[in-house]
Amino acid sequence: MSLVDSTAAFKQRCHDVDGGALQTALEAQGITSFASLAYACGTPQDRPTQAEMDAFDQKRRLVGVHIERDMIPSHALVDLCCHMLDVGADREAWLIMASEVKSIKVTAAGDFPLGLALDALRTDPRITMYLMATWGRAPDVKPVDVDHPPPAHNKPGEGLSRSAKRRRRLKAAAASRTTTPTGKAPSAARTMPAELKDAHQKAEDGTPICWDHNCGGCKNKTEGVQRCGYLLPVNQGPQLLPSERLHATCDWRGTSTAVDFARLVFVYPAAIAMVMHVLPPSSTATATRSPPRVVKPPPHPLGHDIRYGWGSLFYFYGYDQPASAQSRFPIQPLDLTVDDDLAMLLDIIRLESANIAWIHCANSLYRAVGAIADLALELRIFISIENPANSLAWLCDGLDHLFRCPHHEVVFDACMHGGTRDKRALLWCSDDRFLPLALLCSRDHAHDEAAYPHLLCERMAYIVADLAELIVVGIPREPQDFVNEAVKDDQLWADLRDGFRLTGWMRDTGIFDKKLRPPETTLERLLEQSSYRTPLILNKLRKTVVDDTTRKAWAETLEEEKKGWIFREAMATDKPMVIAHRFGLEQKGKVRVIDNGKECGLNLACGLPEKFTLHGVDVLAGVFVELLNRPLARGLRIKGRTIDLVSAYKFYPIHPEDRRHLRIGVFDTDSNVVRLYGTNVLPFGATGSVAGFLRVSAALWHTGVRDMGLGWCAYFDDFPLLAVEGHEAQVDRLAGEVFDALDVEYAKEGKKATSFGETFNALGLSFDLTRFHAGVVTLRHTEARTAELLETLDEILQERRLRPKDAEVLRGRMHWYTSYLFGRAPCEAMHQISLRAQGHDACVSLTKELEEALVTMRFFLSDPKPLEIRQTTGREMFVFTDGSYEPNGDVKAGIGGVLYDDTGTPLAFFSSDVSASDLSILEDQSDHPIYEVELYAAVVAFELWGHLIQDSFTVFFLDNEAAQSALIAGKSGTSNGRVLVQRFLDAEHRWRARPWIGRVPTYSNPADDPSRRICEPLIKQGARQMDVSGVRLLSQ
């Protein structure tokens, strides 16, 4: 093969010139070699004309689908499509692709596997066999070879094959069944339709075509060559043309009207061509091209063809006879003599005309942008213009000339700059400073509709930061627009007015993540059950033990009655109602009253369509990590404070339906009787109250962030607020305006009314920002909370008693306390406290296990080391570990581990055996201790690389599910397993690490080789081998 005919050489040359885009464009034109390119526009003997060159240049400039040749599909194409439908060629093609195409991901060359497979199937014999002619009956015209006539047979069927004889017998039997019964006259010939009277056609030999043969009504004998036709009932909807029959179409006879609307968008956008032809009768198809002239309207309806649309996209309407109802198909009848159809046509014309103003505005905008760019180029000012890469606006007057000026084009995908939308954009730039933004999608992630990516704005701002001057222009909104933008929950105002529901489905606001939790019962069912629920709750209230907490709860109830939050209800046990038991809970020297919505079933009747999202400590810590890595925040001093709302739930009403049936039962310590109260506001203890208040909290947070630019978070009724040093008063005033505008009361005096400081308390923790300018933020528990818990533990250890109720309170406080500072280290201790809280041991004295758990808790409480957040917090590391146990192998109990960074580069690894002393301990308790060996490898990796994975997001991958589950749960079912898991948890506490435990298949585990002393591949990759031969975890 010569070089000019080589497709590989042509492909290589295209990539050298312009990457893969040039090759793709040329292949679309059928040019795949240098030979085909040489004569693409003509030959030396047949040069293209000037008109052909102009058409070629126009096609090169215009973007879109170029449609050439006849716009009407040929009869052969129609036959082929119908044939495909009959025999199922397309179905077979998809079945083949489903079995042979293993992946639908785009290849490295940018090709789509399904597209390549479909192109190959076009010439595949497995598909082409379905597209061959398959006649349903013998053809009407049989070619006769004069030189070799068929042999004559003396007897019927003589000389035929066995299958031919069988077909002949079946045909004869079918003909006998359709023969007219004896004694009955044959049916009369049917009358030819009027539509076919002038449409007689003849065969090549002049024999007329029988119109009624295929309809079953022809009684004439066929002599010689004769083609038979039939009618298509097109007035009944779309018709299918059988693939086994030949087709022909008669010329149109009669008067027709054609109304054409065509619009060329972005080329001549203001031009609408609207031509209405009333065509006289004609006997030839070329009559439709005669000049239009007005004729007298005929008495019968006119056939018409209406085309309208944008660019090359047309919609066709037509009809073959009047219809009273519009069809659901794309082809529908329109009768211009019917008022409704005429009104529809006029509406189409008005709709198209109304778009002219929009097109004029778009063209004006393009010209204005082009003028600004021209002035910037003249003054040598950097300018960039962004628009979708496939936008036709680049071809419009005002922008097209910019591509003939010196410039740089930057093509990028929005998803590579922090967005989630699958959008490819083009930046026209006057210089090359934005070239680093040219990142194309890797196609390894999902896309979604989203707003303009903030990360792209930050990257652009960083590029032009040294040369640009920031100008902020503010345009005030209308009052209603401000309110609508401030509160995304458009149903919040109605619920604030009418009251929040406590039963049924809560509002689907769209501000929280979707997670359905349907109600388990209904308010009606609770009312039906009140006949036995009410006496049970009242009897429990009558048995209330009067103590200091109960008295304070009754005092708080009287105070709420004075404020009008609740109202006293007469005792009526025969009335259907839902009674919530009110009790007091002592917190920080005060008593908070709780209305138990769980006990009475109220919370079971509440359905949640969303999962509540709160800005807890993890969100606030994430904010600090983001600020520490912002270039603009470097060197700044940040201060903070926490704004606490006053009686948060008590300012929002409940729905009248729930107000009518909900009652609060409380014990009156003054008269030793049970009192019933109705409530006007959200009760504290109902799930519906939480759902309603969190919507208010989210609206407050959103308003402050979106409209006031406040840096704050929202956690129920606490709002941690941050400010740059020197701007504290301004930020404080803006936050106050948000609460005052929405009539929300917050603490302005007392111990909850704090001021800005470099150390502030929020969400039960103390945040130290004194070293923020140096890149460090410190988190620790408040001294008061730590001292309170230590005092509680000392009292329990001294008395050696712990009631289940007190254990439940202690477990809740300790669980929250330990979850932020030292992770899962005291998991086993928490488990022992949970067993006492659940009353499994049925005693109040301390057992040995429970006492050890309390001592462990006290040890962790006494650890003064706080948690530090740095710029490096959030680094990603990956640790793969594996253990092998083969009693008869060369390596009896081997361990291996590999440490990878976030780029997938192996940094270090270890490969060793479990020490003989530790292995002996393992084998004493298990015949095949592979589970403990897997845990052993993970603990060794943590001990070895703990200083490297500190303050990082590390994932430990194991290929043993039992070991993975033990590390996730923080406990094990074997004694050696418990020791190893505790060592792992202690390492978490020591290095302040929060690893994620994942699973990797054994075949895919890179630590499988080093666990068997195979280290050469990792050494070749540059990983450093660590010595762990002296490690002892069980026998030390």
Interval 565-582: pLDDT, tens: 999 988 876 789 999 999
Whether 274 and 308 have beta carbons less than 8 Å apart is answered as no
| Mean pLDDT for the stretch of residues 699-706 | 90
Residues 728 and 795 in one domain: no
Interval 50-66: pLDDT, tens: 777 777 666 666 655 45
Q: Is the pLDDT of residue 251 over 60?
A: no
Query: pLDDT grade, residue 161 (50/70/90)?
Result: low
- Domain holding 953, by residue range, is 874-1026
End-of-domain residue from the set 778, 802, 831: 778
Q: Is the pLDDT of residue 627 over 80?
A: yes
Amino acid at the residue 484:
N
Token representation of residue 86:
């009959």
Residues 803 and 760 in one domain: no
How high does pLDDT run on average in the chain? 77
* CB contact set of 665 (below 8 Å; sequence gap of 6+): 537, 538, 541, 579, 580, 581, 582, 674, 675, 676
CA angle 210/215/216 to nearest 5° reads 95
Query: pLDDT grade, residue 471 (50/70/90)?
Result: low
Strands (E) across 35-115 are located at none
Residues 897 and 812 in one domain: no
Residues 880 and 830 in one domain: no
- Buried b or exposed e, range 762-795, using 16+ CB within 10 angstroms: bbebbbbbeebeeebbbbbbeeebbeebeebbee
> From CA 677, how far away is CA 665, in angstroms rounded?
7
DSSP state of 856: H
Q: Is the pLDDT of residue 306 over 50?
A: no
Nearest to 1036 by CA among 933, 918, 946, 884: 918
- Of 206-220, 343-357, 605-619, 890-904, minimum mean pLDDT range: 206-220
| Mean pLDDT for the stretch of residues 1006-1026 | 93
Nearest to 697 by CA among 675, 680, 682, 678: 682
Q: Is the pLDDT of residue 607 over 90?
A: yes
Q: Is the pLDDT of residue 822 over 70?
A: no
> From CA 844, how far away is CA 825, in angstroms rounded?
26
Q: Is the pLDDT of residue 932 over 90?
A: yes
- Of 215-229, 419-433, 807-821, minimum mean pLDDT range: 215-229
> From CA 325, how far away is CA 237, in angstroms rounded?
12
Residue 1035 lies in a domain: no
pLDDT in the model for residue 955: 94
pLDDT in the model for residue 268: 29
Percentage with pLDDT > 90 across the chain: 31
- Of 802-811, 835-844, 858-867, 990-999, minimum mean pLDDT range: 858-867
pLDDT in the model for residue 208: 64
> From CA 790, how far away is CA 996, in angstroms rounded?
30
> From CA 377, how far away is CA 60, in angstroms rounded?
27
* CB contact set of 843 (below 8 Å; sequence gap of 6+): none
Whether 769 and 640 have beta carbons less than 8 Å apart is answered as yes
Alpha-carbon distance values, 752 to 501, 684, 762 (Å) = 30, 20, 11
Per the structure, how many domains does the chain have?
Answer: 6
Residue 69 lies in a domain: no
Percentage with pLDDT > 70 across the chain: 70
Whether 582 and 666 have beta carbons less than 8 Å apart is answered as yes
> From CA 527, how far away is CA 506, in angstroms rounded?
20
Interval 741-789: pLDDT, tens: 878 899 988 888 899 999 999 988 899 999 998 889 998 888 888 888 8
Nearest to 1000 by CA among 897, 885, 886, 926: 897
Phi, psi of 188 (to 5 degrees): -70, 150
Cα 37 to the center of its chain, rounded Å: 45
Whether 388 and 421 have beta carbons less than 8 Å apart is answered as no
pLDDT in the model for residue 937: 96
Return the SS3 of 654. Answer: strand
Residues 786 and 767 in one domain: no
Alpha-carbon distance values, 629 to 459, 624, 948 (Å) = 14, 9, 20
Residue 719 lies in a domain: yes
Query: pLDDT grade, residue 633 (50/70/90)?
Result: confident
Q: Are strands 590-596 and 578-587 parallel, antiparallel or unpaired?
A: antiparallel
Q: Is the pLDDT of residue 41 over 70?
A: no
**In angstroms, how far is the first alpha carbon of the chain from the final one?**
76
Q: Which residue has the higher pLDDT, 427 or 329?
A: 427
Q: Are strands 638-644 and 662-668 parallel, antiparallel or unpaired?
A: unpaired
Q: What is the CA radius of gyration of the chain?
A: 42
Residue 178 lies in a domain: no
pLDDT in the model for residue 58: 66
Query: pLDDT grade, residue 143 (50/70/90)?
Result: very low
pLDDT in the model for residue 269: 30
Residues 791 and 892 in one domain: no
> From CA 575, how far away is CA 527, in angstroms rounded?
9
Cα 911 to the center of its chain, rounded Å: 43
> From CA 117, how far away is CA 101, in angstroms rounded?
7
Query: pLDDT grade, residue 480 (50/70/90)?
Result: low
Residues 513 and 572 in one domain: yes
Nearest to 736 by CA among 751, 721, 726, 757: 721
Return the SS3 of 996. Answer: strand
pLDDT in the model for residue 160: 63
* CB contact set of 776 (below 8 Å; sequence gap of 6+): 868, 869, 870
> From CA 391, how far away is CA 1019, in angstroms rounded?
51
H helix count then E strand count, the chain: 28, 28
pLDDT in the model for residue 562: 94
Q: Which residue has the higher pLDDT, 182 or 989?
A: 989
> From CA 384, how far away is CA 461, in angstroms rounded?
13
Residues 800 and 771 in one domain: no
Residue 33 lies in a domain: yes
Residues 878 and 1012 in one domain: yes
Residue 802 lies in a domain: yes
End-of-domain residue from the set 861, 891, 926: 861
pLDDT in the model for residue 675: 94
Token representation of residue 208:
């007329």
Other Cβ atoms closer than 10 A to 754: 17
Interval 192-201: pLDDT, tens: 666 556 555 5
> From CA 502, how far away is CA 786, in angstroms rounded?
37
Whether 762 and 644 have beta carbons less than 8 Å apart is answered as no
| Mean pLDDT for the stretch of residues 511-526 | 91
Residue 215 lies in a domain: no
Query: pLDDT grade, residue 281 (50/70/90)?
Result: very low
| Mean pLDDT for the stretch of residues 527-556 | 91
Query: pLDDT grade, residue 557 (50/70/90)?
Result: very high
- Buried b or exposed e, range 934-944, using 16+ CB within 10 angstroms: bbbbbbbbbbb
Residue 395 lies in a domain: no
End-of-domain residue from the set 745, 778, 811: 778
- Would you list the DSSP string of 417-478? GT--S--EEEEEESSSTTGGG-----S-S--------HHHHHHHHHHSTTT--------PPP
- The most confident of 867-871, 949-953, 957-961, by mean pLDDT: 957-961
Query: pLDDT grade, residue 176 (50/70/90)?
Result: low
Interval 407-439: pLDDT, tens: 999 999 988 888 888 889 999 999 888 888 888
> Nearest 10 degrees: CA dihedral of 298, 304, 308, 312?
-130
Q: Is the pLDDT of residue 707 over 60?
A: yes
| 251-256, long-range: CB < 8 A, 24+ apart | 251/283, 251/284, 251/285, 252/285, 253/198, 253/199, 253/281, 253/282, 253/283, 254/281, 254/303, 255/279, 255/280, 255/281, 255/295, 255/298, 255/302, 255/303, 256/288, 256/302, 256/303, 256/304, 256/305
Residues 901 and 847 in one domain: no
Q: Is the pLDDT of residue 874 over 50?
A: yes
Residues 303 and 265 in one domain: yes
Phi/psi class of residue 30: alpha, beta or left (left: φ > 0; alpha: ψ in -120 to 50)?
left
* CB contact set of 924 (below 8 Å; sequence gap of 6+): none
Residues 772 and 792 in one domain: no
Q: Is the pLDDT of residue 652 over 80?
A: yes
| Mean pLDDT for the stretch of residues 829-843 | 83
> From CA 1014, how far away is CA 134, in angstroms rounded?
64
